Amino acid sequence: MARILDAGWGAWMRAGSLDAGCAAGQAGVGAAGEKSQDAAMRKSRRSDPVGSIERQIADFRDRATDLLRREQTLRAEVARLETDRPGSRLRERRRARTLARAEARVQRLYDEREMFVEQGLRAIMLTLEEQSRRTRERLDRELERLVPVQSEWERLGEAFVALEGAVATPAVEPLAGQWQGSFEIPAFPVQEREGYLRPFPHRAVLF
C-alpha cells in the first residue's frame, strides 16, 4: 500500500512538474512574443521615422479633441444648472453645490487640456527638429555621393558641345547628313519623370 501511495504521489508530482514546465514555457513564449512586438515597433519607428511622427500628431489631435468634447459637455451642464431655478431653498442649495462641483470639473478639464497641448506640442516640435536634422544630414551625405556623378554628367554635356562643334567644321558638315543639328543633354539633376531626352538630333536615325 505504501509503495502504491508513493507511486501515486510520484506520478502526481511528475504531472505537476510537467504542468509547471508547460506554464513556464507558455509564460516564456508570451514574454518572447511581447519582446518581439516591441522590437518590431522600434524597427518600424527607425525604418519610417516620419510615419511615426505622423501617428504622434494624429494621437495628439485625437486626445485634445476628446478632452475638448468632455469639457464642452460639462460646460453645457453648467449652463443648464445656471438657468435652472428650483422652487424650494433646499433644492436651490443642492443646485448651487452641484453647479460648484461642475464648474470645478470644467476648470480641471481645461487645465488638463491646456497642459496636454503645451507638453504635446513641445514634444512634437522637438521630435520634428531632431528628425529634420537627421534627414538634412542624410541629404548632405547623399548629395556628396552625387558630386562625382554630377561632374561626369557635366563633362558629358561638354563632350556633346565639342561634337556639335566638330560636326559644324567644313571637313565634316557636308558629310554629316542626318547628324546635323543641336547636340545636348538635360541639365543635372535629371529627374525620372522627365523621361530620357535623346542627346542627338530628333531626325537622326540610329538603325
pLDDT value at residue 12: 38
pLDDT value at residue 59: 96
Q: Which three cell numbers stand for residue 178?
A: 542626318
* Distance in angstroms (rounded) separating the CA atoms of residues 6 and 2: 6
67: CB partners within 8 A, 6+ apart: 109, 112, 113, 116
Yes or no: say if 117 and 64 are a contact pair by the CB < 8 Å rule: yes
CA 37-40-41 angle, to 5 degrees, is 90
- DSSP string covering 151-174: HHHHHHHHHHHHHHHHHTSTTTHH
pLDDT value at residue 43: 58
pLDDT value at residue 163: 86
* Distance in angstroms (rounded) separating the CA atoms of residues 195 and 203: 18
pLDDT value at residue 207: 31
Length of the chain: 207
At 175, phi and psi to the nearest 5?
Answer: -105, 0
pLDDT value at residue 9: 38
pLDDT value at residue 187: 72
Helix (DSSP H) and strand (DSSP E) numbers for the chain: 4, 0
| pLDDT string in tens for the chain (207-residue length) | 434 334 443 443 444 444 545 444 555 545 555 566 665 555 555 689 999 999 999 999 999 999 999 999 999 988 888 887 767 778 878 888 888 899 999 999 999 999 999 999 999 999 999 999 999 898 888 888 888 888 888 888 888 888 888 888 989 888 887 777 666 677 776 555 544 444 444 444 433
* Distance in angstroms (rounded) separating the CA atoms of residues 204 and 178: 5
pLDDT value at residue 32: 56
Q: Which three cell numbers stand for residue 22?
A: 508547460
* Helix (H), strand (E), coil (C) string for 93-131: HHHHHHHHHHHHHHHHHHHHHHHHHHHHHHHHHHHHHHH
| 180-207 core/surface letters (b: 16 or more CB in 10 A; e: else) | beebebeeeeeeeeeeeeeebbeeeeee
